[in-house]
Amino acid sequence: MTEAMTYSLRTMKDCNGNALSDGAYLQWFISESARRLLKSASTLRELVNGTVAFTFRTPAEALALLADVRRHGHILQECAAHFSAKRVIAEQFTTKLNELQPEIDGAESAYETLRAWFN
């Protein structure tokens, strides 16, 4: 079923949360947001830990990875706010964001470390 799903904030906001398909999309969207955030955060950590080789593009790549982490965190916040009238739905976004907060903080820290190295 997930093969047919498209990661779209617009589609997410069009869900009302009442239909079974809305619930499936909502769960998939939250998982996909988390997966994308974690992938970028992990790559940033790998740059700091030296498991990914540095290139002349590393500072720009690190900034792009941090922007991606922030973007997906913001998407989860935006969805929680959008569904604030439906507390049960909003809480799913908030819970996932709270679970991911250590990863977001770690990505911020990794970026600051990389930035210090290249300045």
Q: Which two tokens stand for residue 41?
A: 């955060």
Question: CA torsion sign, 52 to 55 to 59 to 62?
Answer: negative
Residue-wise pLDDT for 84-106, tens only, equals 999 999 999 999 999 999 999 99
Regarding pTM above 0.95, the answer is no
Domain that holds residue 108: 7-118
Residue-wise pLDDT for 57-88, tens only, equals 788 889 999 999 999 999 999 999 999 999 99
Q: Is residue 107 part of a domain?
A: yes
Helix/strand/coil for 50: coil
Residues 27, 5: Cα–Cα separation, whole Å: 11
The answer to whether 103 and 37 have CB atoms below 8 angstroms apart is yes
Q: Is residue 2 part of a domain?
A: no
Count of structural domains within the chain: 1
Q: Is residue 30 part of a domain?
A: yes
